[in-house]
Structure 1
């Protein structure tokens, strides 16, 4: 026998009231003034955590922009669009690289892609001014010496030739893309996830191009150091693993037997885990790597005064 009509009506009224109350709560939630992030991003509806996670990679995007643009064009972001610098200090040591026409063309494309990334992020969150960046030959030389655990003579110079430029390029974009992979599950909003996916796609493609060009030159000797390109990439990856302090999340162009895709190749033109999925990194790992200190609270390396944004500054205790 069915329930009396008045019981059904009462239950329906309770459900309706609950639904209306929830709808009113949602209206209040989405009727908030546009979220303005740390520096204020007009029109943004992102929660603070999404803003922080989208602002953090600006550090890497600034770094990539400056290195690729200086290498390809002989000038940096100030000459392309000074507004995008936010009034931040000019980078240290940038210079035009001695590149083949083919490699210069690729570097030029990378340069303008990175400029686009800066625009995309800053159209979503306000961001922060370009931090002080050290893209000098001396700084890259320190990274390579740290990776090889040797003093090099002559010092490694990323601007000297195309091979050196590609090796220096190997150092940077991959770190950023692992950060995007790590940030993805932490984002709440579709807007933030869509932006991150777009950035990750192009950063991954850049890394694949760099690795492919280096793989083709794997046996080429790097200057007079008595070491080949593939071996140098392995040492750079080992260094990043050491500085990241979270295990293996980086692999060179050639790996030990059983460590390539499905354990069946030693060639490793694209880095990935045992399922050939991209590795992830946290902001703490990334900062330890780009600072060259292994410690997100101790700046240095490419960021002499530290990275910017709430995450990086919080880790520095600023």
Structure 2
């Protein structure tokens, strides 16, 4: 277990944080009520994940193939708008087939969710290099020169990919305790298994390059991951649920490692996130009611649309 400092100040901090978390969770439950006055059900909770699955599918497919769902499986988009700025990345022979595989896996995820609980049109996604550049500037705290380009090379693309699957993992971990139907639990567990695998592959590939400077910047790969994780924690607004590739040993597995290929809590369990936290992160605003970032018009589905109305 990770060591804890039981000072009066830290105890007060943890109680305050716990109170705010409970308050935020209850507020989300209230905001996620359907028009009929009922709380979000299994279908609503699982459908919410489609937003992230669409984002991952389009990013991975375009990055590896130069085309997306409109070509690979157009019926799954249900007429939703094409993503902004998605393009083929300059990937090397190792990374390209991995990302292509990820893209096809996301197609399967969307199909599985829609088949089980129904779906909605693909939301408008901003996957442009300009949007990624804003996110990376926000993460490091200054304007990178030249602006960060996720499509420039394999390392940049992997760093951009570091942004995405992990958010979905927290969402699936968070939703599982709220599901009631065994078949739905099975579906989400299966989705979570593959999403976690994707995230582990991305993190392992980046860890291999952890001390490499990201050209032409002064920051290393590990430093970028630490800054991105810190940004997601700030936007999520619920404390530390995200860690980069290199951490102080107090945050490492059993307080014994500085390597952090898999991000996990003090018992090496996956962190959970609520829909409100996820929306705050992918919107880039820290506010589930204020769309932006990767979802300029907001996410789709009953939970996301109810929260912002």
Question: TM-score under structure 2 normalisation?
Answer: 0.87
**CA contact 2:235–2:280 (8 Å) conserved in 1:** yes
SS of structure 2 residue aligned to 1:153: coil
2:228 to 236, 239, 247: 236
SS of structure 2 residue aligned to 1:303: coil
- In the alignment, what sits opposite 1:252? 244
Question: For the residues of structure 1 that align with 2:241 and 2:249, how far apart are their CA atoms?
Answer: 18
1:283 to 261, 275, 285: 275
1:4-42 deviation per Cα after TM superposition (whole angstroms, max 9, x unaligned)? xxxxxxxxxxxxxxxxxxxxxxxxxxxxxxxxxx9xxxx
Question: For the residues of structure 1 that align with 2:78 and 2:279, how far apart are their CA atoms?
Answer: 21
Matched, 1:52 2:47: no
1:65-93 deviation per Cα after TM superposition (whole angstroms, max 9, x unaligned)? 00000000000100001100000000000
- In the alignment, what sits opposite 1:130? 122
- In the alignment, what sits opposite 1:71? 63
Looking at both structures, which has the greater relative contact order when contacts are Cα pairs under 8 Å and sequence separation is at least 6? Answer: 2
1:254-310 deviation per Cα after TM superposition (whole angstroms, max 9, x unaligned)? 001221000000000000000000000000000000000000000000000000001
The correspondence of residues 9-28 of structure 1 with structure 2, limited to 5 A, is none
2:210 to 202, 212, 218: 218
Question: TM-score under structure 1 normalisation?
Answer: 0.85
- In the alignment, what sits opposite 1:21? none
Question: For the residues of structure 1 that align with 2:178 and 2:92, how far apart are their CA atoms?
Answer: 41
Question: For the residues of structure 1 that align with 2:249 and 2:175, how far apart are their CA atoms?
Answer: 31
- In the alignment, what sits opposite 2:53? 61
Structure 2 residue runs without a partner (length 5+): 1-33
Matched, 1:316 2:308: yes
**CA contact 2:40–2:303 (8 Å) conserved in 1:** no
Question: For the residues of structure 1 that align with 2:240 and 2:138, how far apart are their CA atoms?
Answer: 18
Question: For the residues of structure 1 that align with 2:51 and 2:249, how far apart are their CA atoms?
Answer: 36
- In the alignment, what sits opposite 1:267? 259
Structure 1 residue runs without a partner (length 5+): 1-37, 39-46
Q: CA deviation at 1:48?
A: 5.8
- In the alignment, what sits opposite 2:77? 85
SS of structure 2 residue aligned to 1:298: coil
Matched, 1:303 2:301: no
2:193 to 167, 177, 201: 201
Count of aligned pairs between the two proteins: 272
